[in-house]
Chains A and B, each alone.
Chain A
Amino acid sequence: MTKKNKTKNQTKKTKLEELKEELDSKKGHIKMLADSIKDKDNEIMILKAKLNSENLTTMKESLMSQAKNNHLNLLKLELIKKNDQLNKFRGSIIYPFYKITHKFGKTKIGGIIAKLLK
């Protein structure tokens, strides 16, 4: 083998070694990035779970407040109905008689008569 060929072979060898080293460090780079992607995925999963749990709690709170509102509305409606009934009764002919008998019933004599009637 001539000297020229020898030196050529040597330079080729060193170049090959350098390329191998470069390849190895690129592999290391990729490994690290793969780790980083995995970690990011885990982070996203945690955040999603957090978001879901936050959503559930907010949903629960809104439902609770809705139920409270509905109950309050029902009570209001009932109150209105009762008021109507009361007004109707107050406007009827029977009401003055009812008031008189009611007041009389509260007196001592009225109490005695009621007892006698019973």
Chain B
Amino acid sequence: MKIKKFRRFEQPFFGVIQILHRCMYKCKMCNMWLGKETPEEITIEQAMDFSTKLGEIARKDFEFNILGGETLMKKDLEKLIPHVNSLGMRPIVSTNGYLISKEKSQSLYDSGLVHFTMSLDSLRPKIHDFYRGFKGSFDHVRKALTNLHSVYQGKQFVCIVAIIMKHNYKELLELANWVKNDPRVCSISFLALTNPCWTFDKNWHEHKSSKELWPNKSDYPKLSKMIDELIKFKQKNDHLIVNSIEQFEAFKEYYKNGPQNPITYNYNKFKGYVMVKSDGVLSMAAEKLGNIKKDDIRDLWFSKTAEEARKKIESKNTSVEIIINCKHGFEAY
């Protein structure tokens, strides 16, 4: 197979593979918990096959994000990790921490996984439990961090992920300070709140169901101030915050204008963003290209549909909600 030469920004550099659509939590900002195990769900073998093909066209430092639902609910996940590692890509597993026992930590350690992203929205147990829809979820994060540390002996890279929402935006700096002080975690990444139920309604953030999630208009000045403080924190402790300053600026715009409005940013950078959903649907950012079960990404990436997708992204005619949290899209090359 001949692989064409890439134009700038077009080589896959960041990927998200949603390995399953199930979870034990009932998060307010997500509907994954409604999902059940179906035959459409991609298997580990299919994910391995896809990653082999992707490895041929992706950038060398490709970040392979394995997401869920709750990723650790997937059987044989430990098979995928060494495979991705062997291809020279960096596997990162996202988790809520619920299933990280000492035994699980050991099996993940043995599989060669070192990078984790763990959800923690607030240092107030009440708020974290409220958003995750599960009592004791805060304590599960605490236990997970302890278990990982006891097995990995400090060799783990845990990135805390916090979604910016109505009841936690005031304590984002406190979260960043905690990450700075706690040697068990290495960084923090802030995410913008996106459509909680994937209703495809552009004004979802104004619905009653989003009342506790999306900050009020009156909250915006304080939220903006908080993001400015995070930018200052980032300037002093660059390695601790994953988001770039450009992404923080985009967050401000996103929360001010609402999720339906495009952001003032160079969208070209999102042309290398690969996304695979749990049913195998492959897309470039938000633009659907095919299905990994029957299609080959090496063909799809150079197909006409891919060209059209690129044009759509270029003309800012794509979903902001998908790209707003693509951290590498906001990084300078």
Q: Which residues of A contact B (CB under 8 A)?
A: 18, 21-22, 24-29, 31-33, 35-36, 38-40, 42-43, 46
Contact = CB atoms under 8 A, between A and B. Distances in A.
Contacts of A27: 123-124
B280 to A, nearest CB: 38
12 contacts: A21-B124, A22-B170, A22-B171, A25-B122, A28-B123, A28-B178, A29-B174, A32-B123, A32-B145, A36-B182, A39-B150, A43-B154
Interface of B: 122-126, 138, 142, 145-146, 149-150, 153-154, 170-171, 174, 177-178, 181-184
Given A35-B145, A40-B183, A43-B154, A29 B125 contact: no
Nearest to A26: B174
Given A26-B174, A29-B174, A36 B184 contact: yes
A43 B153 contact: yes
A42 B182 contact: no
Nearest to A28: B123
B185 to A, nearest CB: 9
A21 B170 contact: yes
B277 to A, nearest CB: 34
How would you classify the secondary structure of chain B's contact residues: helix, strand, loop or mixed? helix
How would you classify the secondary structure of chain A's contact residues: helix, strand, loop or mixed? helix
A31 B142 contact: yes
Contacts of B177: 29
A43 B184 CA distance: 12
Contacts of A42: 150
A32 B149 contact: no
A11 to B, nearest CB: 14
A43 B153 CA distance: 7
A46 B154 CA distance: 13
Q: Which one of A24, A32, A36 has the greatest number of beta carbons of chain B within 10 Å?
A: A32
CB-CB nearest 7 A-B residue pairs:
A28-B123, A25-B171, A25-B123, A24-B124, A39-B149, A36-B182, A25-B174
Nearest to B171: A25
A36 B183 contact: yes
Contacts of A26: 123, 174
Q: Which one of A25, A29, A43 has the greatest number of beta carbons of chain B within 10 Å?
A: A25
Contacts of A22: 170-171, 174
A36 B183 CA distance: 7
A18 B170 contact: yes
B124 A28 contact: yes
Given A22-B171, A42-B150, A43-B154, A32 B125 contact: no
Contacts of B122: 25, 28
A29 B178 contact: yes
Q: Which one of B146, B150, B178, B183 has the greatest number of beta carbons of chain A within 10 Å?
A: B178
